[in-house]
Amino acid sequence: MPKLTIDGIPVEVPDGTTIIQAAKQAGVKIPTLCYLEEVQAIGACRVCVVEVEGARTLVASCVAPVAEGMKIHTHSKRAREARKTVVELLLSDHDGDCQICVRNEDCELQDLARTLGIKEVRYQGEKSKRIVDESTPAVVRDTSKCVLCRRCITVCNEVQGVGGLFPQNRGFETVIGPAFCSDLDDVVCVQCGQCGAVCPVGAIVERDQISDVFSALDDPTKTVVVQTAPAIRAALGECFGLPPGTLVTGKMVTALRRLGFHAVFDTNFAADLCIMEEGTELLTRLKKKLVDGEDIALPMFTSCSPGWIKFLEHFYPDMIPNVSTCKSPQQMFGAIAKTYYAKKIGKKPEDIVVVSIMPCTAKKYEHQRPEMNSSGVRDVDYVLTTRELGRMIKQAGIDFVNLPDDKQDSPLGLSTGAADIFANTGGVMEAAIRTVYEIVTGRELPFDGLHVTPIEGLEGIKEASLKLEQCVPEWAFLEGATVNIAVAHGLGNARALIERVRSGEKTYHFIEIMTCPGGCIGGGGQPRFTDNSVRLARIQAIYKEDEGKQLRKSHVNPDIQKLYEEFLGHPNSEVSHHLLHTHYHARTKV
Amino acid sequence: MNEESKHVCMEEASEEELLARLDEVIAEYKDKPGALIPVLQIAQAMFGYLPESALKKISLGLNKPYSEVAGVVTFYSFFSTQPRGKHMIRVCLGTACYVRGGKQVLSAIRDKLHIDVGETTKDKMFSLEVARCFGACGLAPAIMVDNDVHQRVKPARIQAILDQYLDKNIETNK
């Protein structure tokens, strides 16, 4: 264990610790830009340089390991000046229109310039070429703001295993982008937005639809309804300075009402609906396989996460039959809102505008898929990310933190705890198990607090087995069967899990995949910055929301039962198939 | 004979045949570490440049994201995604060649061939590129035509050098 001093503070850290990690332990903050704790340390930006006594040059503290007896000065004159020069050089090639940049006051470069006390940029010169890529519905890239930190590349390649972005060209001509600087829409991008979630500046941002939503609200001929995804309520508060994991469900509903939405509904309602459809689909597949001897694709994969769907369509198109045909809760909601609800209020589907608030940029892509118009018109009209909703609330002058609580409207607003946990990794699976187990055995899932603990938490790939005993007569063929389930979050983990399945190393019946690390609570549209401590805080909040509910199993939601009675008939009925199920397309790998 | 020249193409081979041959190259290199650059070099020697169809095949075959393959291709001036002339001229503008008159050599070639860097003559005989050091600094300024290094090049000698390749061409066409 080397002993060293950092700014005179003695520390002792394990071998192999980097200077920046040791400094953190000593309570010393070293400014950084390209560094991403737990994800990327490449010493590219040189902002984290420090002075080590006896060393000829300054060293990048994010990559330099400590050594016995080191004396490190993080804020010596030499280190300060070098750091300032580095940031000035970055600013000299940065489109610095901060006031009209979406990242204003949420920008790491701006923050650095302020922290380092930079008052002028002494370097003037040529600017890099500006490429603005608005080809996808999800994100917008602007290379004139890019600082070449490569965080997006690491996330896209190593965390997500997609490989849509890479440095193109060389030297001053370098552009971070898709192959040969083509558009994102022309490559394998799954539109998860994790690149934008780690971008320190405004080079990759969500496509802003706030003004479209304001226009819809201003149109007197339209009935504008809103749905909020399960993950919003555990993160929206962060847009207003509340700590991660603050539940703001009630305030969120009040804010949406004050923004002028005619009805405030909940994607959670549709999440309960999704469990009814997806659980039934799983049981039907098992029955076809085990009883009818049909050649049916198993394991079945969940289909709630549109980035994952696009990933599979690109990289594993032969496994499309394994994916549940259920639409995601967002799309189920849209289809029900423009049919069942439209009928109830006596409106035509084209006079209803459905706005979604999602933690996700891929949802902006999903709602534009050509299949998503079961009501005869586009089922979901606009998708705002959590960050956009935060900005919209600010633009409307609403004092969010001091809002009173309110409740979602009927009939598409009531949900169970099972729907809440859709927000995090393992949640969709747990919600499905709560219902499926009870359908098959007639008894409640016999686990403490209804939780399937082996599939909770931030482990990349999780699995569990469930033995079915004393089944009800209808499902007697499952007597004694063991159902193997697995859960992966982050597409890199999804890829590893799929490879396990394909190699025959493991046999599962049901697999949950969420595109983003941690699940939707860590989505590409969530407030920045999301690291594992933030993910865990949001997950805890979600479980708290679940446990606080009277009803915690999707099939006991009375409004869902009513929806089946009045409109759909039964799960996987013909109406259900028309409105709530979909199909997928093979796409190219390169 | 180096790896690359082993695979230099017969121009008569169709793209289909070349792609089939590329499959064999990929199979040979697939499990070797650092396979991407050698495979790109061989592919370029085979096709004369790097067509999209070859690059996509390499991406799939070596299991490398297409963005990464493109990143490597666009990083090195050696690689070209545009069809090129029969002979490739590379003028070194590395430090030693630069100070010993590489720039004058370059402008003499430009004038003689009426093309700029990155372009190909109308008769498809020559393409012109700039390079960064062949490791022949002691004999600067240097240029390469195909696989031959010409050293201590003077603008006045350019025509003679180019003529050698024109002559070769006549011979092979006989």
Residues A488-543: tens digit of each pLDDT: 999 999 999 999 999 999 899 999 999 999 999 999 999 999 999 999 999 999 99
Architecture of domain A272-329+417-523+545-580: 3-Layer(aba) Sandwich (3.40)
Please answer whether residues A556 and A301 qualify as being in contact, where contact means their C-beta atoms are separated by less than 8 angstroms.
Answer: no
Please answer whether residues A172 and A126 qualify as being in contact, where contact means their C-beta atoms are separated by less than 8 angstroms.
Answer: yes
Predicted confidence at residue B84, as pLDDT, reads 87
Q: Is residue A360 annotated as part of the catalytic site, yes or no? A: no
The one catalytic residue in A51, A206, A366, A430 is: A366
Residue of B nearest to A182 (CA): B67
A163 and B70 in contact by Cβ < 8 A?
no
Return all residues near A78 (Cβ < 8 A) that are at least 6 apart: A51, A58
Q: Is residue A304 annotated as part of the catalytic site, yes or no? A: yes
Residue of B nearest to A315 (CA): B60
Architecture of domain B87-173: 3-Layer(aba) Sandwich (3.40)
Neighbours of A489 (CB within 10 A): 28
pLDDT in tens, A224-239: 999 999 999 999 999 9
B65 and A166 in contact by Cβ < 8 A?
yes
Given a cut of 90, whether residue B4 has pLDDT beyond it is no
Report the predicted TM-score, pTM, of the whole model to 2 decimal places: 0.93
Residue of A nearest to B53 (CA): A590
- To test the contact with chain B by mutation, choose from A159, A180, A186 the residue with the greatest count of B C-beta atoms within 10 A, namely A180
Q: Is residue A289 annotated as part of the catalytic site, yes or no? A: no
Measured between alpha carbons, how far is A358 from A157 in angstroms, rounded to an integer?
Answer: 24
Q: Does domain A211-268+330-402 have CATH number 3.40.50.1780?
A: yes
Measured between alpha carbons, how far is A344 from A410 in angstroms, rounded to an integer?
Answer: 11
For the ranges A105-119, A184-198, A332-346, B4-18, the lowest mean pLDDT is seen at B4-18
Given a cut of 90, whether residue B9 has pLDDT beyond it is no
B81 neighbourhood in chain A, CB within 8 Å: 180
Given a cut of 80, whether residue B172 has pLDDT beyond it is no
State ipTM.
Answer: 0.94
B67 and A163 in contact by Cβ < 8 A?
yes
Predicted confidence at residue B78, as pLDDT, reads 87
Residue count of chain B? 174
Query: Closest Cα of chain A to B122: distance in Å?
Result: 26
Residue of A nearest to B71 (CA): A168
Domain ranges of chain A: 3-91, 128-207, 211-268+330-402, 272-329+417-523+545-580
A164 neighbourhood in chain B, CB within 8 Å: 65, 67
Predicted confidence at residue B6, as pLDDT, reads 55
| B interface residues, A as partner, C-beta within 8 Å | 56, 59-60, 64-71, 74-77, 81
Q: Is residue A520 annotated as part of the catalytic site, yes or no? A: yes
Given a cut of 50, whether residue B174 has pLDDT beyond it is no
B67 and A170 in contact by Cβ < 8 A?
no
| Helix locations, A234-266, DSSP H | 249-259
Query: Closest Cα of chain A to B164: distance in Å?
Result: 34
Measured between alpha carbons, how far is B174 from B166 in angstroms, rounded to an integer?
Answer: 13
Q: Which helix (H) or strand (E) holds A225?
A: strand A223-228
Q: Which CATH class is domain A3-91?
A: alpha beta
Nearest to A187 among B60, B67, B81 (CB): B67
Nearest to A61 by CA among A4, A113, A104: A4
CATH of segment(s) A128-207: 3.30.70.20
Q: Is residue A562 annotated as part of the catalytic site, yes or no? A: no
Give the model's confidence band at B77: pLDDT under 50 very low, under 70 low, under 90 confident, else very high: confident
B70 and A180 in contact by Cβ < 8 A?
yes
A162 neighbourhood in chain B, CB within 8 Å: 65
Measured between alpha carbons, how far is B100 from B75 in angstroms, rounded to an integer?
Answer: 26
pLDDT in tens, A357-401: 999 999 999 999 999 999 999 999 999 999 999 999 999 999 999
B74 and A178 in contact by Cβ < 8 A?
no
pLDDT in tens, B32-57: 999 999 999 999 999 989 999 999 99
**Chain A to chain B Cβ contacts (< 8 Å):** 48
A187 neighbourhood in chain B, CB within 8 Å: 66-67
Residue of B nearest to A168 (CA): B71
Neighbours of B165 (CB within 10 A): 16
Residue of B nearest to A167 (CA): B71
Backbone angles phi, psi at A127, to 5 degrees: -105, 150
Q: Is residue A459 annotated as part of the catalytic site, yes or no? A: no
B67 and A169 in contact by Cβ < 8 A?
no
Nearest to B58 by CA among B9, B68, B5: B68
| A322 strand-pairing partners | none
| A interface residues, B as partner, C-beta within 8 Å | 157, 162-170, 177-180, 187-188, 589-590
For the ranges A37-41, A323-327, B9-13, the maximum mean pLDDT occurs at: A323-327
Residues of chain B with CATH 3.40.30.10: 87-173
Tokens representing residue B25 in the block = 């190259």
B70 and A590 in contact by Cβ < 8 A?
no
Classify residue A264 by burial, with Cβ atoms within 10 Å: 0-12, 13-18, 19+: buried
Residue A442 vs residue B3, higher pLDDT:
A442
Q: Coil, helix or strand for A456? A: coil
A188 and B66 in contact by Cβ < 8 A?
yes
B67 and A164 in contact by Cβ < 8 A?
yes
Give the model's confidence band at B12: pLDDT under 50 very low, under 70 low, under 90 confident, else very high: low
Query: Closest Cα of chain A to B36: distance in Å?
Result: 15
Q: Which helix (H) or strand (E) holds B104?
A: helix B102-113
Predicted confidence at residue A275, as pLDDT, reads 98
A157 neighbourhood in chain B, CB within 8 Å: 65, 68
The one catalytic residue in A281, A313, A430, A456 is: A281
pLDDT in tens, A549-584: 999 999 999 999 999 999 999 999 999 999 999 999
Nearest to A590 among B66, B71, B75 (CB): B66
Given a cut of 70, whether residue B169 has pLDDT beyond it is no
Measured between alpha carbons, how far is A112 from A45 in angstroms, rounded to an integer?
Answer: 12
Nearest to B70 among A157, A166, A188 (CB): A166
